[in-house]
Amino acid sequence: MSPASSDQTKGVKKLRSIQRAFATGIMRPLTPDQHMKPKWVDGTSTKKAVAKFVKPNDRLTSYERIEIYNRQYWYRLIDCFYEDFPGLRALIGEKRFYDLTVAYLTKYPSNSFTLRDLGNRLEKFLKQNPAWLVPHEALARDILKLEWAHIVAFDGEALPPLEIDSLLGGDPATLRLGFQPHITFLACSYPVDNFVLATRRREEPKGEASNAVTNRKKVKAAPKIARPKSEKIWLAVHRSDHSVFYKRLEPEAYLICTALQKGLSLQAACEKALRGKKNVDDFGSKLQAWFTQWAAFGWFCPAE
Amino acid sequence: MPANRFNNYTEYGIGIGLRVPHYQHILSRKPTVDWFEIISENFMVDGGRPLKVLDSILEQYRVVQHGVAMYLGSTDKLDREHMRKIKRLVKRTNTPWLSDHLCWGSVDGRYTHDLLPLPYTFAAAAHVAQRIREVRDYLEVPILVENVSSYAEFHASEMTEWEFLSEVVEKADAGILLDVNNIYVSSQNHNFNPYDYLNNIPHHRVGQFHIAGHSKFEKYILDTHDHPVLDPVWKMYAHAIKLTGPTATLLEWDDRIPSFDEVHREALKAGKFCEELVREPSIL
């Protein structure tokens, strides 16, 4: 290695160490009164730690300068989370939702260039930390699944759809169908579709990435919407004509869709849906109506 | 002065940032606008309404891509998935040039979603320049790097911000997206003369300008993009275009966004400075 390239390697190593220290400073949760934590990660003084790499000026200490970024980090991410999960926020309440957001993002900081993916490990986090959802755990999990499905449906991939005609004449024992990547099928223990729709109506339109600093928004109180009572529902969260819809399905329709999604043939999927059913006389016409409608929505695409 | 190679020799005039609250107005009324700047990351999706809107805009308008997450100064490896998505979007928009920031924002795979300042060292400049070259070779469009506003300075810095910017673009043979408001914000936060900045960068590399509003606090200024452009920034802009010649200019308004007409009116003020230069080229 030439002396020049050795110096460059050392220089980039130093740059990385500064970036790690800076990121450590700004990604740590704020104190309850919205300041940077006074203790650094090793228990020493944060003021001393940041003064090692950030200069003060005539108006601000090194600590105060980094604190601007520390606040911006949290304001930006919390705003994004409020927009992505309005239903969960309405259910568990303002304070708990804020604390949950901070706890989640501390454990799982963003691992993607896009804020769209910020909540991609929230379900996993809540499985590991179910206490956040007590006493409405099942309802909260249903809401969370629906709100993540909404994000997927909003901008997920759409493949060229299969027309209904292309399904006709195929052998049901071997015919396999795929679904658009933006569709999610959900079996819920609560009618969360109405609940989430009600909360979304109360929210501002979704924000965008920009290169501006985020002002601390005055957070509106979580909308007070009655908690739904337990009732099984089955949903397809999909996109049609560029808008997201929550379509309720009959349980047999849900079983067929999820079986097809798993790669079962059309015949096997229908058999699964009908297993244990006594009265199946009108099933043929129902099936025809469902498939016609689903094809009209453009749900089908070739199986992988 | 003609457009330069960093903006693909295009004469683009005055643009506006494409923002959600204006979609309906733009698509239904089709106002006359020289061009729209899009935030690349808002359209780097697999499908849905964002792409539908973009395609409708592309039928009527010229679009330039501006990124907020390439993090040219990060020491992590370039995110190949991110690059592939940008390239796919470049093909869709046919952007004549592509800009992103002279900053970092991720380390060890953790993303801050912020535009963080770099220490102004020779090693950092060489590192960033190398990444810009990689990006340009992969994307096959001219790259402009934008100066960010900042609130912190590093002990490690070996030069001024404008020296650092110049060092990077010369080493990378890249263009500059000169954000005049960001220079003003940083000059107030770090006690330097913003005209020293404007006078001492390679003017022939400036392919685009940004102008925007900011917010003043007791001890510092924040780059909030939620106001009209303030007088000191207009004065700097007037000075800057005398140095560069009329150059594509974009008004950013990202928060508390007013009506489309109000944003457009504010943007067109920049056009008056450029028209003056065209009428009286002797002042160049």
Q: What is the pLDDT of residue A304?
A: 77
For A158, what's the count of Cα atoms within 13 Å in the CB-facing half-sphere?
Answer: 20
Beta strand B35-39 pairing with B63-66: parallel
Tell me how far apart the alpha carbons of residues A243 and A228 are, in angstroms, rounded to a whole number. Answer: 25
**Per-residue pLDDT at A213 exceeds 90:** no
Q: What is the pLDDT of residue B16?
A: 95
Q: Give me the mean pLDDT over the A173-183 stretch.
A: 95
pLDDT tens digit sequence for A257-297:
999 999 999 999 999 998 888 777 788 899 999 999 999 99
Q: What is the pLDDT of residue B173?
A: 98
A115's CB contacts (< 8 A; 6+ apart) are: A76, A77, A80, A209, B113
Q: What is the ipTM of this complex?
A: 0.94
Q: What is the pLDDT of residue B282?
A: 58
Domain covering B5-283 in this structure, CATH number: 3.20.20.150
pLDDT tens digit sequence for B49-88:
999 999 999 999 999 999 999 999 999 999 999 999 999 9
Interface of A with B in 264-303 (CB under 8 A): none
Domains of chain B by residue range: 5-283
How close is the nearest chain B Cα to the Cα of A218, in Å?
Answer: 13
B274's CB contacts (< 8 A; 6+ apart) are: B13, B14, B241, B246, B247, B249
Higher pLDDT, A167 or A137: A137
Tell me how far apart the alpha carbons of residues B87 and B72 are, in angstroms, rounded to a whole number. Answer: 16
Chain B residue closest in CA terms to A154: B48
Residues in chain B with pLDDT < 50? Answer: 284
Percent of chain A exceeding pLDDT 90 equals 81
Q: Give me the mean pLDDT over the A69-78 stretch.
A: 97
**Residues B75, A19: C-beta atoms closer than 8 Å:** yes
- The DSSP secondary-structure symbol of A25 reads H
Show residues of chain B in contact with A73, CB under 8 Å: 112-114
Specify the DSSP element, H or E, that contains B242.
helix B231-244
pLDDT tens digit sequence for B32-49:
999 999 999 999 999 999
**Residues B75, A215: C-beta atoms closer than 8 Å:** no
Q: What is the pLDDT of residue A282?
A: 80
Q: Give me the mean pLDDT over the A73-77 stretch.
A: 96
**Residues A76, B114: C-beta atoms closer than 8 Å:** yes
**Per-residue pLDDT at A221 exceeds 70:** no
Helical ranges in A85-220 per DSSP H:
86-92, 94-107, 122-128, 137-155, 192-201
**Per-residue pLDDT at A170 exceeds 90:** no
